[in-house]
A and B are shown apart, each in its own frame.
Chain A
């Protein structure tokens, strides 16, 4: 279509249509082959093993993350696998645009990466799926981008033309919604929550990033209460974060086919406590019941009934399944 009139027909011979409900499913079936290729290579001992648990690949649509050993042969093989997959499927990996990060490698590896993969080595922290990842604890600078993202929303809104009720809606459903993706995934430090709160508070009362004490008519704690308790229904981010992380614990307990099986996940201690008191375990075949910590004995756990016995058991045994 050009200026309202159709041109000559083009015959469609490759690619998948965007927006077609079927295309994404076909696409992931194609990507699954890449996963099988790497799994097979690892099973046959062509790729050196990394660690006993976990997967090598993480695929989310066209976002592929891959772990390999820093061995020179493994590098070459990985490159070949990607090349063959590219030739066969049309999905060429653009190595120049890809990013390689060494974990616990000596200096020589950087040269290997340059020579074999023809791409440059980067370092942590980086982002994956829009979230920061790092080998160490996340530092302040890694999360500042999120604060800016939230603060950048404000100038576009004509705050001076909005009523308090209008600003409340924006705070509740826009400013609060932005950090949710982050809150589900990581344990956010206190300063981060305070910084977000400052923006939310400032916008609610004055329409600006900052508000003085005098601008705030009601204490922030009261504002954050649910509407039936006299607040404005703005979520308390800290408690929201605890609640959002409950999901991880639930999946850890109930879904054995989760991709991160065997890996520890970081959750707030409050989440663990909340989870523990909300869940009781009914023992079936005992396979996924934790003997020491689950509440399977008339609604209480051994930790409550016999704290002295439990304290004699080393911590690492308590977390193990089937340890009873």
Chain B
């Protein structure tokens, strides 16, 4: 049991350093070119953000979510758009041109802990919520909006999560009816339902970058 503020800091720091702070050392890498789909033309993603695009994204931002370290909420962007427009666009364009000076000032976040159960005693019993800068939120949202329509060509049809126009029932139909067919034709086979541990938290960044460059994402 720890009660002092400094001790709590120490414990949580160690806990999250362990989860987030260590890059894995990879022992294996995959030769993507040998088996993965060929890249597609993604030059459309290299176009700079337009003012209309940014405004449309800002309009879609939720107004009153908890702000990050900068304290700006979506409502601020919405109501001050006319005033901050030129500065904001200048910042976005320089990010887009690969000018990353002092980016770490904007690309940081507060980790806030929310207890998962009534008596949360260990660091593991808390769900970390990261509050990022509103600017970082805006940039990722813009990138996501640009990428979303292209995903349909980048991902095989048997994966339907997070892609517009595909539906969870497509996957269900596929699995259920394949089982029926195998059963009816008396084909001896196995159905595996895999459990990937901590899927979202353990994606290897260097692997992700390899995939992205293989698929034709630029490095600008």
Contacts and interface: CB of A to CB of B under 8 A. Distances in A.
Interface of A: 1-3, 5-18, 20-33, 35-37, 39-40, 50-51, 53-55, 57-70, 75, 78, 82, 84-85, 87-95, 97-106, 109, 113, 124, 126, 128-129, 131, 133-136, 184-186, 248, 251, 257-260, 263-265
Nearest to A37: B35
Given A104-B188, A128-B175, A263-B174, 11 more contacts: A12-B20, A15-B19, A26-B203, A32-B159, A33-B36, A35-B159, A54-B174, A55-B157, A65-B171, A70-B188, A185-B172
Interface string B112-152: 11000000000000000011100000001101110110010
B174 A69 contact: no
Contacts of A40: 34-35
A2 B113 contact: yes
B163 interface: yes
Given A7-B9, A60-B161, A91 B192 contact: no
B202 interface: yes
Contacts of A63: 171, 193
Contacts of B24: 14, 90
Contacts of A18: 200
A7 B12 contact: yes
Interface in B152-205: 154-163, 168-183, 185-197, 199-205
A51 B211 contact: no
A263 B178 contact: yes
B159 A60 contact: yes
B175 A257 contact: no
Interface of B: 5, 8-9, 12-13, 16-17, 19-24, 26-30, 32, 34-37, 69, 108, 110-113, 130-132, 140-141, 143-145, 147-148, 151, 154-163, 168-183, 185-197, 199-205, 207-208, 211-212, 215
B160 A60 contact: yes
Contacts of A129: 168, 171-172
Contact of B148 (A25, A39, A82): A25
Contacts of B32: 33
A69 B200 contact: no
A98 B191 CA distance: 11
Contacts of B22: 13-14
A260 B159 contact: no
A66 B171 CA distance: 11
A257 B160 CA distance: 12
Contact of B203 (A27, A126, A264): A27
Residue from B173, B190, B204 whose CB has the most chain A CB atoms within 10 Å? B190
Given A66-B192, A78-B192, A103-B188, A260 B161 contact: no
- Determine which residue in B34, B130, B186, B212 has the highest number of CB atoms from chain A within 10 A of its CB, and name it: B130
Given A2-B113, A55-B174, A129-B171, A16 B215 contact: no
A39 B34 CA distance: 12
A89 to B, nearest CB: 5
Nearest to A15: B201
Nearest to A132: B176
30 contacts: A2-B9, A7-B9, A8-B9, A10-B16, A10-B21, A14-B203, A14-B204, A15-B20, A22-B147, A26-B212, A29-B211, A32-B156, A54-B181, A58-B175, A60-B159, A60-B168, A61-B199, A66-B192, A66-B194, A82-B194, A88-B28, A90-B203, A102-B189, A102-B190, A103-B191, A104-B189, A135-B182, A263-B177, A263-B178, A264-B177
Contacts of B132: 17, 20
A85 B205 CA distance: 14
B187 to A, nearest CB: 6
Contact of B194 (A16, A64, A70, A103): A64
Nearest to A41: B35
A1 B27 CA distance: 35
Contacts of A64: 193-194, 196
Nearest to A20: B140
A-B pairs with lowest CB-CB distance, top 5? A62-B199, A90-B204, A40-B35, A21-B144, A263-B177
A50 B182 CA distance: 8
Given A1-B110, A94-B197, A185-B173, A68 B13 contact: no
